[in-house]
Amino acid sequence: MMQLRHRWEVDVTVSFVDDQGDAAAVESTVGSTDDPAVLAIVATSDPLVWTVQAIGAVGSTLEWAVQGDADLGEGVVPVVVHDQIQIVSGQAVSGSATYGEPRPMV
């Protein structure tokens, strides 16, 4: 799992391997998240590179996934790379004060 600041984005490069751990090709890729209104995944010009954007509520933890077609022919054999991202707040840059109820000094 990765932590990503609210309103920030990160590029994610996915790769696929065969049963021996060697690099394997896929035909096409499709990205998705649990809730695109909170965590978006956007395609780039490279089908193995996706931009994940933290656009929703701080504290949310969502899963993203990229599915590829491993068949390389007429059929479809789905293979999935996935992980989670937790949306966190940024570094403090300002502050505020809240006053209590005034009272006489004792």
User: Of 10, 16, 11, which is closest to residue 81 (Cα–Cα)?
Assistant: 16
70 lies in a domain?
Answer: yes
Q: Strands 61-69 and 29-33, how do they pair?
A: antiparallel
47 lies in a domain?
Answer: yes
Q: What CATH code is carried by the domain that includes residue 10? A: 2.60.40.1080
| Domains held by the chain: number | 1
106 lies in a domain?
Answer: no
Angle, CA of 52, 7 and 67, to the nearest 5°: 10
31 lies in a domain?
Answer: yes
50 lies in a domain?
Answer: yes
47-106 pLDDT tens trace: 999 999 999 999 999 999 999 999 888 889 999 999 999 999 988 899 999 999 999 999
Give the Cα separation of 17 and 70 in Å (integer): 10
95 lies in a domain?
Answer: no
Prediction pTM value: 0.83
6-62 pLDDT tens trace: 999 999 999 999 999 999 999 899 999 999 999 999 999 999 999 999 999 999 999
Full residue range of the structural domain in which residue 71 is found: 2-88
